[in-house]
């Protein structure tokens, strides 16, 4: 059956050469360098987080290596007043949007303070329930529209999330009411071990936007400039009152689904992994910047050292943060505790005092 095509956006090829100048974003040299710095920083941070998880110093963690262009490029296209609703792998977007890294570490450990967002940081804690953030994003976007605020709700899910009912419900609601929302599907080819071809008969995930009556676009998720350009277009379209957009970002996670026992060698071939390794977003963008004399080995080393220092500082702060208590957890549940929780808090406080 013939399907309605969706646009595919790519700015740089695997060698860092410009292949489509029409989508080349208007970024200053400083902004281009900042994109690279953030991707290098995130790769180093991810490598350290994987090691910390293996050492038992973090709890739940979903590796991000390979998806930096998709994550960093899309967040870079937002404003701080825009609201991000991430999935569990989308910690980098949340941190670059203002979530302190030490709180991200506490979140990984299950500490309640991890999800207590500082004033002015417009995100929710990364959502564990697959697809639930899609519906929440439409709710946030509806609030922006009702208040006539020029703000956008941007949310993320993986390819597996498009198989959830919440994905269709949230997107359809946003389309029906013309809400200022952007839905980003980071298609890293596998929902844990299930390949995309076994999840859907659709040629692309982007074309699922057609049923909701909204634009859908597919972007090379290993190309940070393409991701930025597609997201900027969608965000500004939403901000101007023209409704939501679905973006399918074609990317790949180099590591396991999570650090909770997943072994990607059981469902991914070595040839497939090597094929995607040739598309490494850091290598591609580095080549482009070097061709314009905007990035050097010294810049790379500085970004690496900055990341190492920041991770160590955040880890130290997380380690020194007061341990969570049951009474403290109960206190965080409501502004005014109902009677049954007051009694439970007092009961646990008495037990901990003994």
pLDDT in tens, 86-123: 999 999 999 999 999 999 999 999 999 999 999 999 99
Q: Does 342 map to a domain?
A: yes
Residues 22 and 98 in one domain: yes
pLDDT at position 9, please?
97
Cα–Cα distance for residue pair 33/29, rounded to 1 Å: 6
pLDDT at position 333, please?
86
For 24, the domain range is 8-323
Asked whether residue 308 carries a pLDDT value surpassing 60, the answer given is yes
Q: Does 207 map to a domain?
A: yes
Residues 317 and 352 in one domain: no
Q: Note the Cα 351 to chain centre separation in Å.
A: 40
Q: Does 3 map to a domain?
A: no
What are 202-249's pLDDT values in tens digits? 999 999 999 999 999 999 999 999 999 999 999 999 999 999 999 999
Residues 300 and 191 in one domain: yes
State how many domains the chain has: 2
Asked whether residue 285 carries a pLDDT value surpassing 80, the answer given is yes
pLDDT at position 349, please?
85
Cα–Cα distance for residue pair 38/76, rounded to 1 Å: 10
Residues 329 and 276 in one domain: no
Residues 227 and 343 in one domain: no
Residues 291 and 339 in one domain: no
Residues 80 and 174 in one domain: yes
In this structure, the chain runs to a length of 354
Cα–Cα distance for residue pair 39/224, rounded to 1 Å: 9
Strands 245-250 and 181-187 come out as: parallel
Q: Does 181 map to a domain?
A: yes
Cα–Cα distance for residue pair 170/17, rounded to 1 Å: 37
Q: Which residues are catalytic?
A: 253, 257, 267
- What percentage of the chain carries pLDDT values higher than 70? 98
Q: Does 203 map to a domain?
A: yes
Q: How confident is the model at residue 74 (pLDDT cuts 50, 70, 90)?
A: very high
Residues 166 and 233 in one domain: yes
Cα–Cα distance for residue pair 95/89, rounded to 1 Å: 12
Name the pTM for this structure.
0.94
Radius of gyration, CA atoms only, the chain:
21
Q: What number of other Cβ atoms are within 10 A of residue 299's Cβ? A: 17
Asked whether residue 351 carries a pLDDT value surpassing 90, the answer given is no
Asked whether residue 4 carries a pLDDT value surpassing 60, the answer given is no
pLDDT at position 207, please?
96
pLDDT at position 3, please?
55
pLDDT at position 1, please?
43
Residues 110 and 214 in one domain: yes
Q: Does 265 map to a domain?
A: yes
Could you tell me which of 61, 58, 92, 52 has the C-alpha nearest to residue 75?
92
Residues 273 and 333 in one domain: no
Q: Does 223 map to a domain?
A: yes
pLDDT at position 77, please?
98
Identify the weakest region by mean pLDDT among 34-38, 210-214, 333-337: 333-337
pLDDT at position 174, please?
98
Asked whether residue 37 carries a pLDDT value surpassing 90, the answer given is yes
Residues 52 and 68 in one domain: yes
Average pLDDT, stretch 166-180? Answer: 97
pLDDT at position 41, please?
98
Q: Does 247 map to a domain?
A: yes
* Residue 171 · residue 141 · CB < 8 Å: no
* Residue 350 · residue 327 · CB < 8 Å: no
Residues 125 and 252 in one domain: yes
């Amino acid at each position: 059956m013939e399907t309605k095509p969706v646009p595919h956006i790519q700015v740089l090829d695997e060698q860092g050469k410009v292949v489509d100048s029409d989508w080349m974003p208007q970024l200053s040299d400083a902004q281009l360098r900042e994109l690279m710095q953030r991707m290098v920083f995130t790769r180093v941070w991810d490598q350290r987080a994987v090691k910390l998880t293996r050492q038992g110093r973090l709890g739940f963690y979903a590796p991000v290596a390979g998806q930096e262009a998709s994550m960093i490029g899309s967040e870079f296209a937002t404003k701080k007043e825009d609201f991000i609703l991430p999935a569990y792998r989308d910690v980098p977007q949340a941190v670059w949007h203002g979530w302190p890294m030490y709180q991200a570490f506490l979140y990984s450990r299950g500490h309640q303070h991890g999800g207590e967002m500082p004033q002015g940081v417009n995100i929710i804690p990364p959502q564990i329930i697959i697809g639930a953030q899609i519906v929440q994003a439409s709710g946030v976007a509806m609030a922006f529209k009702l208040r006539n605020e020029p703000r956008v709700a941007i949310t993320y899910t993986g390819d597996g999330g498009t198989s959830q009912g919440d994905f269709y419900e949230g997107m359809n609601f946003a389309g029906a009411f013309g809400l200022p929302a952007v839905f980003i599907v980071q298609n890293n080819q596998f929902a844990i071990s299930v390949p995309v071809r076994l999840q859907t008969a659709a040629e692309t995930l982007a074309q699922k936007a057609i049923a909701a009556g909204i634009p859908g676009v597919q972007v090379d998720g290993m190309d940070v400039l393409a991701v930025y350009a597609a997201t900027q277009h969608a965000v500004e379209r939403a901000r101007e009152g023209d409704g939501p957009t679905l973006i399918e970002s074609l990317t790949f996670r180099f590591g396991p689904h999570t650090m909770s026992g997943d072994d990607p060698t059981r469902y991914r071939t070595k040839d497939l992994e090597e094929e995607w390794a040739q598309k490494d977003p850091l290598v591609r963008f580095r080549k482009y910047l070097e061709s314009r004399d905007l990035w050097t080995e010294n810049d790379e080393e500085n970004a690496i050292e900055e990341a190492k220092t920041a991770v160590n500082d955040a880890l130290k702060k997380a380690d020194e943060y007061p341990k969570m208590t049951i009474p403290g957890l109960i206190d965080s549940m409501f502004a005014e505790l109902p009677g049954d929780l007051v009694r439970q808090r007092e009961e646990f406080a008495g037990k901990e005092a003994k």
